[in-house]
Amino acid sequence: MGLLEQNAVLALIPLMPLVGACLLGASLGGKPERHWQSGWAATIFSATSFIAAISLFLKIHGGDVSSIQYGLWQWFSSGSLSVDLAFRMDRLAGVMTLVVTGVGSLIHLYAIGYMDHDEHRPRFFCYLNLFLFSMLLLVLGDNLLVMFVGWEGVGLCSYLLIGFWFKDMENAKAGQKAFVVNRIGDAGFLLGIFTIFWSLGTFNFLEIENQIGLMPDYLILAAALLMFVGAIGKSAQIPLYVWLPDAMAGPTPVSALIHAATMVTAGVYMITRLSVLYLAAPEALAVIAVVGTATALLAATVALAQNDIKKVLAYSTVSQLGYMFMALGAGAFSNGIYHVVTHAFFKACLFMAAGSVIVGCHHQQDMRQFGGLRKSMPLTFIAYLAATFAITGLPYGSGFFSKDAILWAVYSKPIVLFGTEIQEVLWAIGLFTAFLTAFYMTRSLVMTFFGSYRGSEHPHESPWTMTTPILILAVPSLFFGWFYGEALLQFIGQWGREDLLVGHEVLAANPTYHLLEMISIGVALSGVVLSALVYGFMPSIVGSMLKAVALLRGLHAALLNKWWVDEFYDAVIIKPLRVFSNTIFTVIDRALIDGTVNGTGMFVVANAEVTRRMHNGKIGSYVMLMFAGMLAAIVFWIVL
Amino acid sequence: MAIEVTEFYLLLSAVLFTLGALGVMIRSNTIVMFMCVELMLNAVNLTLVTFSRQFGEVHGQVFVFFVMAVAAAEAAVGLAIILAVFRNYFSIQTSDVHDLAG
């Protein structure tokens, strides 16, 4: 294959899902008995994209080329500015593309089974393919504007898919919430893009990397913080994380694809892509580390008390995203991406397994109605067990490696905020969060699969289209870190800190690292064991402890109500905004503007009521008035 | 003596003009109103001729010719309008034509 054709494959990666989305969109309104085809079509388009991504990735992996570029056409030009619709795949984008298309294809396959009886399947798969297209645009775009189009596209698809069952008002509202909250972040992202363009006059990533030295420090800091606002919105960090738990209103494949594996990691990817900018602004990195740590802790605490299995996983996702931002804040960008990859495996697996449980229990999501499902759903159980093992950070699961890499990165890097070094505090919070993670994940595992069945409907195992992707993802959840973790870190290592790329063997020789690793294993183990003891053998102890200790009761209420953050936002932002808008509406719009317009009309009508009497239709009187007028004019003229 | 003649004609012209004006205002037969308009025009013509004689200049008389020419054209247009009105309303009384009454 010649160079030209080889690069054209790059454009094929995002275009395949777009073609799929267009075809599925054109097929809307087709015969219901043909609807089953839509899922397979979408899966095939997605898988084609995956195969194309592998073929190009192998070229980069083999070291033939460091990056592959392909420009479709010039998008627009104005003066000296020229923006191309161009794609570029380097190591970072390659890894992300593989995750997006690979996990995406598996989730497409899973969705065939999950959405089996839905009458709007073609619309669903159309959105799903459109999402994949937008996400690939975001990942592969070679300048900020193409990335921004993808960034907005995934937001749109997220909105469409959360509100997929829009006949239920709650789902439609959740979609709106996600969209509006994301818009706040997008505004920051856009301002960040403007700042960079204003200073450097380019949108191209390579040019930004080369010319970053020309940017004054204060603009770098401003751009870095503004872009981070965008990441906060998209990747659900404090204070804009509130949309993600509500987004669970969407179908479960959507939760797995968009709200766990791919879209929510867009913020991490974007910051890694612009790591040059962030390395030049250590204050911004410190802010990111603090926000990430706070989010990880807050979300993990809320996940402790949730009873809806999808809500537990949603808060777990927010918490894990917090870990990724901790890594970014410590300057360990490749470690952040490492966690993105492992998280994509085990969290997509968890979500799909949860979806399998939900379908198997006839659309029941409350974990109090589950129990003992390991007997009736053995395949789902195995996958959920493997993914839980990975996320809890028990030794040699993939989460163990990526999470430890993050904790070590945070511990070993001086993070200075307001003149104090806070990395040890952040590390301790991260460790405590790891304990909470182990605790709540084991809780969900035990409540769902162990004990005896508490529901009323008869549970059943899901069809092969659903169990296959789950089991496939369970494999890398367990073994990816062990076999490929270091290779991945080395591979994408051109981002971030060199000191972390020495490999696990060398790091393990460092006594501090070794100690921290042992502590981390101990913490994860104690979380798992404690949770298993409490929920597996003494489920009544929670209730009696809550009854006995008032403080615990209060804490439990706070966690159950998610620290009342939604209520707080409602009281502090939404209600005042409503009142303000209403005031503006009544005073300015109704009284002032409408008053002026309507008043003019009413004035004319009232005047006409008087003057129209002069038009009596008698020519004689008109003539008389005319003569009177002339006479008056003459008299006036003579007198003056 | 000449001054009295001038005064007499100016007086006559004023009387004619007033008659014409009153006729336009009071009568409702459009043809009569039309004739009254002619009366007013000719009253003005008389004034012009009177002053022309008084000051020994021809300007006034030249102007009268213009007025007569315009009046002839106006008569043609006016009669055509009356004809059109009659065709539409089967009447030439202004009291029957009051579509634009407010």
Task: Test B26 with A615 for CB contact under 8 angstroms.
Answer: no
Supply A606's token pair: 């009232």
In this complex, is the C-beta atom of B97 within 8 Å of any C-beta atom belonging to chain A? Answer: yes
CA–CA dist A162, A181 (Å, integer): 14
Neighbours of A135 (CB within 10 A): 31
Place of tokens 């190009």: A56
In this complex, is the C-beta atom of B98 within 8 Å of any C-beta atom belonging to chain A? Answer: yes
B102: which chain A residues are within 8 Å (Cβ-Cβ)? Answer: 611-617
CA–CA dist A99, A269 (Å, integer): 12
Confidence of residue A125 (pLDDT cuts 50, 70, 90): very high
Nearest-CA distance A631 → chain B (Å): 12
State the average pLDDT over residues A394-416: 86
Task: Test A612 with B99 for CB contact under 8 angstroms.
Answer: no
Provide the 3-class DSSP secondary structure of residue A71.
strand
Supply A173's token pair: 């509202």
| Share of residues in chain A with pLDDT > 90 (%) | 41
CB-based contact B99:A617 (threshold 8 Å): yes
Residue A196 to residues A92, A187, A234, Cα–Cα distance (Å): 21, 14, 20
In this complex, is the C-beta atom of B94 within 8 Å of any C-beta atom belonging to chain A? Answer: yes
Instruction: Look at residue B67 in the predicted model and tell me its pLDDT.
Output: 94
Tens-digit pLDDT profile for residues B77-101: 999 999 999 999 999 888 888 777 7
In this complex, is the C-beta atom of B22 within 8 Å of any C-beta atom belonging to chain A? Answer: no
For A616, name the nearest residue in chain B, comparing CA atoms only.
B101
Written as one letter, the residue type at A295 is T
Tens-digit pLDDT profile for residues A144-203: 999 999 999 999 999 999 999 888 888 999 999 999 999 999 999 999 999 999 998 889
CA–CA dist A14, A9 (Å, integer): 10
CA–CA dist A513, A507 (Å, integer): 6
Residues 30..49 of B with a Cβ closer than 8 Å to A: which? 33
Confidence of residue A405 (pLDDT cuts 50, 70, 90): confident
Among B21, B24, B98, select the one facing A618 at the smallest CB separation: B98
CA–CA dist B4, A634 (Å, integer): 26
Supply A539's token pair: 């489920």
In this complex, is the C-beta atom of B93 within 8 Å of any C-beta atom belonging to chain A? Answer: no
Instruction: Look at residue A635 in the predicted model and tell me its pLDDT.
Output: 95
Written as one letter, the residue type at A221 is L
Domains and CATH numbers, chain B: 2-94 (1.10.287.3510)
Q: Please report which helix (H) or strand (E) contains residue A560, including its range.
A: helix A550-560
Task: Test A619 with B101 for CB contact under 8 angstroms.
Answer: no
Confidence of residue A504 (pLDDT cuts 50, 70, 90): low
Q: Of A74-83, A336-345, A427-436, B28-37, where does mean pLDDT reach its minimum? A: A74-83
C-alpha closest to that of A436 among A481, A484, A500, A393: A393
B94: which chain A residues are within 8 Å (Cβ-Cβ)? Answer: 618-620
Confidence of residue A505 (pLDDT cuts 50, 70, 90): low
Instruction: Look at residue A397 in the predicted model and tell me its pLDDT.
Output: 86
Task: Test A615 with B101 for CB contact under 8 angstroms.
Answer: yes
Residues 44..73 of B with a Cβ closer than 8 Å to A: which? none
Kindly tell me if the per-residue pLDDT of A3 is higher than 80.
no
Kindly tell me if the per-residue pLDDT of B1 is higher than 60.
no
Task: Test B100 with A618 for CB contact under 8 angstroms.
Answer: no
pTM score, whole prediction: 0.79
Instruction: Look at residue A1 in the predicted model and tell me its pLDDT.
Output: 44
CA–CA dist A249, A320 (Å, integer): 20
State the average pLDDT over residues A258-267: 90
Instruction: Look at residue A97 in the predicted model and tell me its pLDDT.
Output: 93
Tens-digit pLDDT profile for residues A559-569: 888 888 888 88
Instruction: Look at residue A4 in the predicted model and tell me its pLDDT.
Output: 56
| Share of residues in chain A with pLDDT > 70 (%) | 97
Instruction: Look at residue A315 in the predicted model and tell me its pLDDT.
Output: 93
Place of tokens 């669903």: A124
Conformational region of residue A618, where left means phi above 0, alpha means psi within -120 to 50, and beta covers everything else? beta
Predicted ipTM of the assembly: 0.81
Task: Test B95 with A613 for CB contact under 8 angstroms.
Answer: no
End-to-end alpha carbon distance in chain A: 100
A617: which chain B residues are within 8 Å (Cβ-Cβ)? Answer: 97-102
C-alpha closest to that of A134 among A224, A67, A208, A234: A234
CB-based contact A221:A294 (threshold 8 Å): no
> In sequence order, what are the residues at sequence separation of 6 or more whose Cβ sits closer than 8 angstroms to the Cβ of residue A325?
A231, A235, A237, A267, A268, A288, A289, A291, A292, A295, A336
Q: Please report which helix (H) or strand (E) contains residue A81, including its range.
A: strand A81-89
What is the torsional sign of CA A329, A487, A401, A421?
negative
State the average pLDDT over residues A102-123: 88
Instruction: Look at residue A549 in the predicted model and tell me its pLDDT.
Output: 80
CA–CA dist A559, A246 (Å, integer): 16
- As beta bridge partners, residue A81 has A78
Provide the 3-class DSSP secondary structure of residue A639.
helix
Instruction: Look at residue A595 in the predicted model and tell me its pLDDT.
Output: 92
Instruction: Look at residue A496 in the predicted model and tell me its pLDDT.
Output: 64
Cα torsion A511, A517, A520, A522 to 10°: value is -80
Nearest-CA distance B96 → chain A (Å): 9
In this complex, is the C-beta atom of B18 within 8 Å of any C-beta atom belonging to chain A? Answer: no
For B97, name the nearest residue in chain A, comparing CA atoms only.
A617
* A162 alpha carbon, distance to own chain's centre: 12
Most B CBs within 10 Å, among A605, A618, A627, A631, to test the B interface? A618
* A523-A527-A528 Cα angle (round to 5): 120
Instruction: Look at residue A321 in the predicted model and tell me its pLDDT.
Output: 94
Instruction: Look at residue A214 in the predicted model and tell me its pLDDT.
Output: 86
Nearest-CA distance A639 → chain B (Å): 21
Provide the 3-class DSSP secondary structure of residue A547.
helix
A627: which chain B residues are within 8 Å (Cβ-Cβ)? Answer: 21, 25
Kindly tell me if the per-residue pLDDT of B2 is higher than 80.
no
Among B21, B94, B102, select the one facing A619 at the smallest CB separation: B94
Inter-chain CB pairs, A–B, below 8 Å: 35
Helices and strands counted in chain B (H then E): 3, 0
Most A CBs within 10 Å, among B18, B25, B26, B34, to test the A interface? B25
CB-based contact A56:A10 (threshold 8 Å): yes
Task: Test B25 with A620 for CB contact under 8 angstroms.
Answer: yes
Q: Of A291-300, A363-372, A566-575, where does mean pLDDT reach its minimum? A: A363-372
Q: What is the mean pLDDT of chain A?
A: 88
Supply A301's token pair: 């605490």
Most A CBs within 10 Å, among B94, B97, B99, to test the A interface? B94
Longest CA–CA span in chain B (Å) reads 55
Confidence of residue A238 (pLDDT cuts 50, 70, 90): confident
CA–CA dist A327, A409 (Å, integer): 7
